Chains A and B, each alone.
Chain A
Amino acid sequence: CGFHLRGTGSTQMALTELNFAARDALSPLSKDVKQSLINNKVAISSSAPFTLYLGLEEDSRRTASFTAGTRSAEYTLTTALNYELRSGNLPALIQDSVAVQRSYAYNQNNVTGSGQEEALLRQEMRRELVMQLMMRLQAITPTQLDSLKSQAERKERAAAEAREAEIRAQQFEEPQQSPILIP
């Protein structure tokens, strides 16, 4: 039905090298992403033309349902990550986020055990988050980034020129000499 084993088609990671930067480069998430890039045969080098930048892992939790006694019975956990693809000092070429949600049943009479379960779920969610991120990165090609880069450069140049023009205009308009001189 049209399915073929991956790798025999054209769905390899198109990026072969990336620079890696993160708000917290030593966090477990950053380590996992780095490892995953290496596993996907992406070389991590500071001289690469494009940079993958990771924001902080944002964890939140809300009550999903209540017990008969109206205590929290289930929690929904969310883990989200903002990421950017950058080039030099240009504004982000691609800016997006991935998020993963999971629910679990909270146990009031075993708070310590529930805490342990939440920690385990967070670990699994982090792995899922990294996988989602890799799927996004797989869809990005260097050609696409190059064209985004030249777009961003054009925009940046235009903005710089506009700024300069404004400064020039103001300097020119600034009357140097008062029309009326008071002795």
Chain B
Amino acid sequence: SATAQQYDCKSANGGWSCTTQDSQTVRPPRPEPSQPISTSTAKTDASQAKGSAPTAPAAPQSVSSNRGKGLASRSADFSHLDWVPREELSEAQLAEVGPYCSGAYIEPIRPGMNDTSSFSDSPLYVNAGVSRYEQKTETATLAGDVIIRQASLQAEADEANLYQQDNLGELKGNVRIRDRNALLVGDRAELQLDSGAAKVENAEYVMHAGNSRGSAQYVRRQEDAIIRLKDGTYTSCSPGSNAWHLRGNNVTLNPNTGFGSATNVTLRVKDIPVFYTPYIHFPIDDRRQSGFLPPSISYSNDNGLDLTTPYYFNLAPNFDATLYPNYMSNRGLLTEGEFRYLSKSSESRIGGAWLSDDEDERKLQSEYKKDRWMYMLQHEQGFNQRLLGSIDYTAISDPYYFQDLNSNIIAGSNETLDQKANLTWRGNSYSAQLGVHAYEMANISDVTPYDKLPQFSLAGALPYQPAGLQMSYNTEWTRFDRSLKKGNYYDEDGKTEPWRDVSLKGLSRANGDRMHIEPAVSLPMNWSWGFIKPEVKYAYTRYDLNLDSTGKEYLRDNKTKFNSSPDRSIGIYSVDSGLYFDRETQWSGTNYRQTLEPRLFYLYVPNEDQTDLPLFDTSEMQFSYASLFRDNRFSGHDRIGDANQVSLGLTSRWLDDSGFERQRISFGQAYYFSDRKVLLSGTDYKKVAANTSSRSPYASEYMFQFNHEWRVNADLMWDPDTHRTRSGSAMFHYQSQQDLNKIVNFGYRYRNDTLHLNDDGIWVTGSTDYVDKNDNDRVYKDFYKIEQTDASFMWPVMPQWSVIGRWQFDYNRNSTLEAFGGFEYDSCCWKLRLINRYWVDYDERNMSPLDNRTGDHGVFLQIVLKGLGGVTGNKVETFLDEGIQGYRERENNAY
């Protein structure tokens, strides 16, 4: 055919003489076999691959009549928009395409597409089937697959007139103007040959990198490549779909910044307007996304109708901000915002929220505030490699803030808030730290915690080791301070009861300084077949205490002398040793190395009376396999447990060829040669069975992971003296690596050895009954026991549809803690989640833990319009993330 040849035209005597010449270019084929061109035509020009001019051009359909879809009259398979169906995409291209997209916009390779030279400096390339030049008007008339190319810009049309005087090109019929990552298709266009400015009529456009398209009666391409649409549309839906699109007055697409904006925008679903906004800012490529984040709508008993429409500001590559306007019909508008900043040596996050709360159910309660606010600051700073600084500070208007209100910027249960700052110097063999750490209570029923204001610590080891001796040190100086609440708490009904702090008696009301010095010498001997490590530690602790009159009185009444500067010095002697045995084994066709690791730990710590020492940062840790090999059964430095015991443990591992631990089982027990006399609180160790028995519970741990996809963890502490289980758990987690959408979690937890503070201010281990004074002294059996199951899943049931669910049940209280179920529909350009949820809210109305449980019920709807922003923040996100382990990984890899 004629188009198989190109014409080589040379100007001669005022006219052009044209001779045919073979196309000299061979271009990589583009994956567009929908065009009936056999791959054998190697000498194909790009102009042909676009499809030849229609033989009988029908009257062009107007883009305003397409109801948000691509113009099928231009090509039924939308190849005119560079659309390539899924089946024809290469492996690499497929990887970039969302799972439910029927294809993608693939920019064809063309000469000059990577040309970055300036427009005016680049030569003009013109090619056409036939051409004529009118000397008098300086007009060139071109017809038949016209190609005009300059720098990275390429224009194609059926016909063209080039007006040389005005440097203007007029293009007619099947016009397509391409720039890098952009395609404009239209019926007629004017192109400024010296600047690249263009105006296309009845136009459709595609931004390949952003997977987006749209249309407008007129599209202007400015010299600076910015595209402006008059009454244009924008969508990330495939050309054949009008699931949603935006329609705005002035739409601007700026490929230089990666953003688009529009004014007077309606969001249309199937061309029906559903939402209006005067202005919108959105991303047009896969650079940092900006614009509206997915809105969330929910209805719950507490807040009523609840609507959040987050908006993300991409301010610079290293800082951004997000605004979360959250309207609750029962409360009002909660405005929350966050600002993040990143530099080479620092990272910061600043956030805040404010609400004038219309809900006044807490009006009679102590510490009620009508104006609710929250602010937080997180900052990490590396001054240099060795000196690090960090701040983590959150403050709230009232202790009920997180019970009543959701936060998009602070995750977690937030029962107490950290207010801390640290300065750390990291030497080669030591580290020094200066820190302040205060807590703000986000509840009213807990005892006020001690603040560390400040704490200085220095820990390390001597760099030289004479005769293999390792010498280390651990020093700490801390000022512990808290102001205990006095008097009465007013509950929801205005009734009073004493604050929890009032139950604290004697020394537990003390504030003061504590200095702790702990040098240690050890002689570790390691061989490939085992190790032995004798160690001697010396711990010296000195206090400087203040005690209020209430505390002093209590001590006087109990005939105890108050010592304002007690001290304690104790030697800690231990020998840790172990052997490693190996064997090669096979198990269902795989080679394993099975190990057998017996371990023996002897510990001797003399008894020292520590009843005159307060409890600043010390708690007794629950018994576990790991605690067999610790030299102190208490955390913190206020108690050092006396011991004369030997612990035996045996671990066996199955390692595969890559060293991956597939299975591990551990079993052990400690044998005591004397009673443990040091208690957390109270004085009579003989009443505590765990402190007088001659052996510990059996401790066992089990872990099995087939691969990175699924794992089982279990442990069991069983007491042979009482023939009862102390604690036990079994957890199962599965998440497919191929399809992160497939998640199953199951967990069972049992614990009968929790610590709690009884009404007399004494720490009690194990479960006891609870007497509810607010409810006619009703008795709740085994109140402090934990026995719960938690099952959650996400699973694709058919293409595009996934089911989501969780059920957490408390056997001890015989009630459901949380249950939700719903589904997710995912398509190429939008996603929807609808979830029905029941949960037990922690909502403090008085001091009784049981009265503060409230069942709440909500229906949550989340809609994500892909291409208008990322999926972050949000209420649905929060409970899915907290409820389903693996959800975060899934979302981080979602399209």
Contacts and interface: CB of A to CB of B under 8 A. Distances in A.
Interface string A1-12: 111111111011
A49 interface: no
Interface of B: 6-11, 16, 21, 24-28, 109, 111-112, 114, 123-128, 131, 133, 140, 142, 162, 164, 385-386, 413, 415-416, 426, 431, 437, 439, 443, 445-447, 449-450, 452, 480, 500, 526-530, 579-585, 593-596, 615-619, 621-622, 626, 635-636, 653, 655, 657-661, 708, 713, 729, 731, 747, 749, 751, 753-757, 770, 780, 783-784, 786, 788, 790, 808, 810, 812-813, 817, 840-842, 849-850, 852-853, 882, 885
Contact of B849 (A5, A67, A101): A67
Contact of A182 (B162, B443, B527, B817): B162
Given A170-B111, A182-B126, A67 B619 contact: no
Which applies to chain A's interface (DSSP): helix, strand, loop or mixed? mixed
A180 B131 contact: yes
A110 B596 contact: no
Contacts of A1: 583
B7 A180 contact: yes
A137 interface: yes
Contacts of A11: 528, 582, 593
Interface of A: 1-9, 11-12, 25-28, 39, 62-74, 76, 96-97, 101-105, 107-117, 120, 124, 132, 135-140, 169-170, 173-175, 178-183
Given A5-B579, A68-B770, A68-B784, A112 B450 contact: yes
B616 A9 contact: no
Given A139-B658, A179-B21, A62 B449 contact: no
A173 B580 contact: no
| Of A6, A70, A103, A117, most B-chain CB atoms within 10 Å | A70
Contacts of B708: 97
A108 to B, nearest CB: 5
A108 B415 contact: yes
Which applies to chain B's interface (DSSP): helix, strand, loop or mixed? strand
Given A66-B788, A69-B445, A135-B659, 11 more contacts: A1-B583, A5-B529, A7-B528, A73-B786, A102-B626, A107-B756, A115-B617, A135-B653, A140-B659, A173-B25, A179-B126
B398 to A, nearest CB: 18
B25 A180 contact: no
Given A4-B581, A71-B415, A117 B853 contact: no
Contacts of A4: 581-583
Q: Which 10 A-B pairs have the closest CB atoms?
A: A69-B849, A7-B528, A113-B619, A139-B659, A136-B659, A111-B449, A6-B580, A2-B583, A3-B581, A117-B635
A16 to B, nearest CB: 14
A94 to B, nearest CB: 9
A140 B26 CA distance: 48
A52 to B, nearest CB: 13
| Of A71, A72, A138, most B-chain CB atoms within 10 Å | A71
Contacts of B593: 11
A64 B747 contact: yes
B251 to A, nearest CB: 33
B11 A181 contact: yes
10 contacts: A3-B596, A64-B790, A69-B852, A70-B840, A71-B842, A73-B786, A110-B447, A112-B616, A113-B617, A174-B112
Contacts of A110: 447, 449, 615, 618-619, 755, 757
B127 A178 contact: yes
Nearest to B9: A180
Contacts of A180: 7, 9, 16, 126-128, 131, 140, 142
B581 A6 contact: yes
Contacts of A9: 582
Contact of B386 (A26, A113, A175): A26
